[in-house]
Structure formats: C-alpha cells, structure tokens
Structure 1
Amino acid sequence: MKIAIVGGGVAGTLTANYLAMRLRDEIREGKVEIRIFSEREHLLYEPGLLYLIFNRVEERDIKKDLKLLLDPGVELSLKRVKILDLDNRRLIFDDGSYDFDYLVIATGSRIVPEEVPGLTTTGHWFYNLEGALKLRNELAKFKNGRVIVSVIGIPHKCPVAPIEATLLLHDFFRILGIRKDVEILYTYPINRVFVMESVSNFVKEMFDEREIEYRTFFNPVAVDPDKKEIETLEGEREKFDLLIAIPPHKGSQVITDSGINEDGWVPTDKYTLKVKGYENVFALGDTTDLPVSKAGSVAHFQAEVLAENISAEIKGLPPTARYSGKAMCFIETSFKEATYIWFDYDTPPTFVKPNRFTHWMKIAYNRFFWMTARGIL
C-alpha cells in the first residue's frame, strides 16, 4: 500500500508524521510505504517571517532540514512533481512516475506579485523568506514618511498577519522614537478591515487607539515606481514612501498543470477533506478551496483528521473523523501583548483581551513549533 504526499510544507510534514505513528507496524512489516515528495530540502516556519522583518529572529531560527523533522518511517524524495494524474493514481516527473494507492495533496499556495504591474520593482512583502529579508533591511533604515500596508486580494496565507504587521509597525516606530514622523495606512479589498465582521470591529478599535489610518474597498491594480503611488480599481491614488504589500496568491502551479483548477485551489470536501470526485485522494492546508483560514493551525487540525481516516481504512476500520473547520490564530498587538481567535464552521471567533501571557504563549510556541512539525506536540 503506497501513500504519496505531495508537498513538504507544514501540512505535508505533519500528515506524513501522523500517518507514520499510526501505521508503524504496517510500515515495519513492509505492507505500507509513506513517501513525501518535496522540491525543498528545508521546512520554513512562515509565521516567523513576521518577527524576522523586525529583527526579532534569525533565518536559522525559522528554517530546519526537512529530513530531520520526518519520522524514520517516512521516505523523502526531493523531486518536483510535474503532473498529478488522479484518474490513473500516478505522479509524473520529468524522469519517471510513481503509482500510489492514496494521495495527499499538500502543495500549498504561492504569491504572484508579478500580477500587479510595478509591485515587484517598488513594493516589499514578508510572505516569503527573500521578501522578508529585503523588508528587514528597508525597515532598519526607514526614518520618516508614509508606510502603506496593503492587502492585495483574498484569500492569502495567514489572514491576520497583515493586521499584526501593522500593529507591530506602530510599536516598532514607537520604540525607535520616530512614530510621530511616520504615517501608517492599512488597506483592505472589501468593505471592512478583515473578512470576519467581529474581528474587523475589534481591529478598527485598535487602529483608532494607535492613530493608524485604514481604507476599505481598496483594490490595487498597479504601482507607479516613479511617483511612488498605488493606483486602485476604484480610481484612487495613494502616495507612499514604503509599500508593504500582501501580494495576490494562487495555488501551486502543479494543480493548474494537472487540470484540477485554473487558480490552483483544489476542490475539497469540507468535512472528509477528500478531493471531490475521488475516494483515495485528499487535500489539506493552503491548497484547498475551503472557506477556512490558510493558516498553520488549520493544516495541523486537518492533518490529524486525514491521518486518522487513512490509517483506519488501511486497517479495515471505518473512517469516522471529520474536520470541523477549526482554526486558531494568535494576533500580536504589540511586542509585549497578544490575543488570539478561535473558531470553526459553526462557531464565530472568540477573543481574549490582549495581554502579556498570550504574547509569551506565542513566543514559546514559535520555539516549540518544531516539536509540532515532528508530530509530538
């Protein structure tokens, strides 16, 4: 029995490790093979990029060798999958193929800043390692002017990260003693500052307290590098000295190339996480088209469901686990305080008042994450 996992990010790594723990006897007896296919040798803890731009962590703190994180029962193949042939249960590479009995698609999402003219030459972002390192250097020398934090399209990874970045920018400039010399503008593409109304109202209060300006129905279509202006679909033009963008996102190119979905989002059952139309193909994490956050906690909860159901089927038991839409996100409101939100398909977000204890919980989890990736925590 061959279980193929495509994608060596958080979702794929967790699923592989959880499956290996549940199928240890079957692996030892040679009845089951778990193989993860990844183009990257390292796992990047992407929430750590937010701290990297403020020089609170180093690259080595948020990047680990994937081989060291995988259970010994998991085989790692550092190969690029070219096509997912779901009908024939086959992965196709440039130099061969691999037949599977079960497939887990964990191909994640990617930023496509090139889709906004001028953004790649003038804008900054922290949604990949290269961009975060460049932004860190830019923030280190920024002394005064107008900063725009602009969410360019949804969905995107870690939905609350732009809010955190905006609040931390305020605190960063305050600590440096230059907040009075810096104007901060946050923009969002719909009619409120966050998708969920209760979160939006909470965030607006924090922005108002900190004198952070915000605009809604703000959809950038181009960036003028010479004038340092953002042009929007609504006809607005906003000047900036530093543009921090959350670029448009798409799913993985292999999903598009395989004819599964043009934008790379995999049609997925919201409870079983089966790819629609297939019994032995599953998807989780950022790559799904589900109405849930593209966040690490979601991948974590989904991986538990998938591992339980796939291992149950292999053992001849009914797959009864269901994903409830559960998500949990920390929100850093300063360098000393944080809150968190918790919700699922049926329960709206709940908050706690920002406090120091929650902040230190988040800082602690940043260090403990590698235990989570190994399937221990």
Structure 2
Amino acid sequence: MTEEIVIVGGGTGGTVLANDLADRLSPELDRGDVRITLINDSPDHVYKPVWLYVPFGQREPSDGRRPLSELLDDRVNLRIDRVSEIDTDAQALQTRESRDGTEYDKLVLATGSTLAPDRIPGLEAGGHDYYSESGSEALREELLSFTEGHIVLSVIGTPHMCPAAPLEFVFMTDDWFRERGLRDDVDITYTYPIGRVHGNPHIAEWAKPLMEERDIAIETYFNAEEVDPDAETIVGMGGSEIDYDLLVSIPPHSGVDLIAEAGLGDDGWVDVDKHTLEAEHAENVYAIGDTADTGVPNAGSVAHYQAGVVGQRLASEIRGRPATETYDGKTLCFIETGMDAASFVEFNYEDPPSPAPPSQKLHWSKLAYNESYWLTARGLL
C-alpha cells in the first residue's frame, strides 16, 4: 500500500521539504511505496526577502518569483489548488477543485503567514508596506518622489515575517537619503509595540545605539490602533499620535483559517512540540516555518532547518524506525545596516544571538545568498 505524504504550502519550508523527501525516499518512490504531493494555491514560488530591495530600486518583484514546477523534483506530485478543510480524524483534506478529497498518511502544514492590515482601521488607505509584492512597488514610487518630510516605520503586527526587516528598512532608508543628499530634510521615526526596538533583547540592545547614531527617532510601547489617512496621523493606545508624511507599516499577520477550523491552533498557527514539530492536537501531522508555533522567528532559515528535521523524521517513520531527529531552534539571519553594510546573527533555543559588526563583506554575503536561494530551494545547497 502506498504511503501518502501531503505537504500544504509551496513556500520555502514546503518546497525544501518536498525535495528533501524525494532525495531521502528515492528507493521507496521508485518502488511506488511512497507518493509525495505538494499542494499550493499558486503555480509560483515567491522568495519574499527580495521585496525589501524593491522600494530602493535594487530589485524587481520578478526577481523573487519562479514557477514551482521548475524547483520541485520530478517525482513530487504538484497540485495547484487551495485546501479548504482538514479532517485530522479521517486524515483527509478537501480542496476547492477536488470533490473527492485527498487522503493522507502523513501531513505537513507549511501554509505560512498572511497580511491582515484590515485589523487596523485606516491602515490600508493610509499606509504602505514592503511585505507584499504590490506594496513594495507602490512604496518604490513614494520613495522616489519623497524629498522632504517625516517617514514613520511602525511595527504594528507581531509576530511577523522576517523580524529583522523593520530594522533593515530604517537603516537602508537613512543611508539611501544620505547618498542622495536629502537626509537633512527627512526625519525618520521607528515605532515598536514593546519597550525595546526588537522582540529579541540581544538584537534590540545592538540595534538601538546604531539607530541613535543615525538620528533615527525611536518610539517604543507604541501600539497602533488606528490610522487617519486624511490627517496623516497614526494613533496609538491611549490616544497618542504621530504625524507622518509617509507611513510604512509592518501590518498585523495571521495564518490561514483552516488551521483553527481543524482545531490545530489559534489564529492560523499550529500548536507543535517545538523540538519534534509534531502537532499537539492531531496524529501524523507536522508543521514547519511560520505555521509552527515554536516561539522562534518567522524567518526563511527557520523553515529551511525545520524542513530538514521533518524530512528525517518522516523518512524514519516511513521505514518503521524511531524518529529521533529534533529541531534545536537554529536560526540565522543577515541584517542590512545600510545600502552597503550588513550584520549577521545565528542562535538557537539555548544560545542567544550576538550580532556581528556590520561590514561590506556581510552585505555582499547576503546578496550572494539571495542569488543562490533558488539552488537551496531545489535542494542543491
């Protein structure tokens, strides 16, 4: 009888895992003992970190997009469809296009994060973002015509994709306007909802002095509740207001509704064992990347490392062996500190981050990784 492994979501985690399993389970696939199916609601794979560079004219959105069919091992069954229901008791999925449903023996959820700007009144009309393809393009047009005034970067939603990206944006914005000779006419303010500039205290301690040196104003404990596009103000809890000429936001994030509907966790995040990545409320279900509620950052590197762990665990289970591989919280991230310098952090559940001194070498290392990402997604790196 063929073992059915179904992966939902074709982002970094889902794509890397599908290719990892195709390699690990090559003999079983050749014999027809295993079938790997990846279901994604789009034919394209999107590498979202590219969007950070679009507003500054350094990348095009198309640079972060490839057909999934070109990235996946030929032995992976790719289905372009949207999963509408998960029945973990019957171990079956319902999709929009298929009336018969899809049964699974092992299910991996890699459904990622979605933006929910509508949770903040006025945000969609009054703010810009670079966490979406269309948002990054619109922001590019705004920045190109911006010569003076007040730019506010407000982190509204936490947790959010790529936790370092808000810091990167203000560092790059500062440098970008300096290079154009306009920085004296542009004020930059950064807001964060808790009492420091980043969720991780070690990164916050490193970043705050850099921001102060660069004359980037900081407003902590600022929890945005409303945006008034006409008055160009962003309103926080308690009625505090910040005026802006250009508002750039990190909108609230959520997962997909079917996670909560299946009883797997709240707000689209699956409750998992943070080491094994097994769902706590269902058998034979794993979650990786943003979908897995582990407490680690919602970063692409996390999804990549977790995919390797789940790949090894599934291969062991398919072969009737104990699954012993565990995830230790490993995360790594390059952090742009300007247009030609970057830092680097690596940490896990036990060891906190210690950002490296910014350098041009690390900046070029980040750009090199962005270019080689497609090899990573294919499982070649």
Same fold, TM-score > 0.5, yes or no: yes
Q: Which residue of structure 2 lines up, in the alignment, with residue 9 of structure 1?
A: 11
Segments ≥4 residues shifted beyond 6 Å? none
Q: Are the aligned partners of 1:6 and 1:12 in contact in 2 as well (CA < 8 Å)? A: yes
The alpha carbon displacement at 1:324 in A equals 0.1
Among 70, 73, 78, which residue is 1:71 paired with?
A: 73
Output the CA distance in 1 between the equivalents of 2:327 and 2:335.
Answer: 23
Equivalent runs, 1:39-188 vs 2, <5 Å: 39-94=41-96, 95-96=98-99, 97-188=101-192
Structure 2 residue matching 1:261: 3-state secondary structure = coil
Which amino acid is 1:47 matched to? P
**How far apart are the structure 2 equivalents of 1:312 and 1:249?**
34
Assess if the C-alpha contact under 8 Å between 2:88 and 2:283 holds in 1.
no
* Offset of residue 316 of structure 1: 2.2
Give yes or no for contact 1:173–1:179 (8 Å, CA) kept in 2.
Answer: yes
Matched residues, number: 377
**Aligned AA for 1:50?**
L
**How far, CA to CA, are the matches of 1:10 and 1:287 in structure 2?**
12
SS of structure 2 residue aligned to 1:40: coil
Shift of the alpha carbon at 1:253? Answer: 2.2
- Return the alpha-carbon distance in structure 2 between the equivalents of residues 141 and 88 of structure 1: 56
Amino acid at match of 1:77: R
CA distance in 2, matches of 1:365, 1:76: 26
Show the counterpart of 1:266. Answer: 270
Q: Shift in Å at residue 135 of structure 1?
A: 0.8
SS in 1 for 2:249: strand
Alignment partner, residue 358 of structure 1: 362
The 2-side partners of 1:336 and 1:233 are apart by 37
Deviations, residues 248-268 of structure 1 (Å, cap 9, x unaligned): 011112213334334111101
Secondary structure of the corresponding residue to residue 17 of structure 2: helix
How far apart are the structure 2 equivalents of 1:201 and 1:271? 28
Counterpart Cα distance in 2 of 1:277 and 1:57: 42
Contact 1:218 1:234 in 2 (8 A): no
Q: Secondary structure at the match of 2:153?
A: strand
Give, as a single letter, the amino acid of the residue that structure 2 aligns with 1:205.
Answer: P
Judge conservation of contact 2:71–2:374 (CA < 8 Å) in 1. yes
List runs of 5+ in structure 2 lacking aligned partners.
none
Distance, in Å, in 2 between the alignment partners of 1:76 and 1:294 is: 25
Retained in 2: the 8 A contact 1:153–1:219? no
User: Per-residue displacement from partner, 1:291-327 (whole Å, max 9, x unpaired)?
Assistant: 1000000001100000011011112222111000010
**SS at structure 2 position matched to 1:53:** helix
Give, in whole Å, the separation in 1 of the partners of 2:350 and 2:373: 27
**How far off is 1:93 after superposition?**
1.7
- State the TM-score, normalized to the length of structure 1: 0.98
CA contact (8 A) 1:219 1:234 kept: no
Question: After alignment, is 224-233 or 260-269 more displaced?
Answer: 260-269
In structure 2, the partner of 1:344 is: 348
Q: How big is the shift at 1:277?
A: 3.1
Offset of 1:278 from its aligned partner? 2.9
% identical equivalent positions:
43
Report SS of the residue matched to 2:333: strand
| TM-score (ref. length: structure 2) | 0.97
Match of 1:369 among 367, 373, 376: 373
Deviations 1:58-113 (Å, cap 9, x if unpaired)?
12211111100001110100011001111110001233200000000000011100
What SS class does the counterpart of residue 77 from structure 2 fall into? strand
Q: Is the 8 A contact 2:264 2:280 kept in 1?
A: no
Q: Counterpart of 2:304 in 1: which secondary structure? A: helix
**Residue equivalent to 1:294:** 298
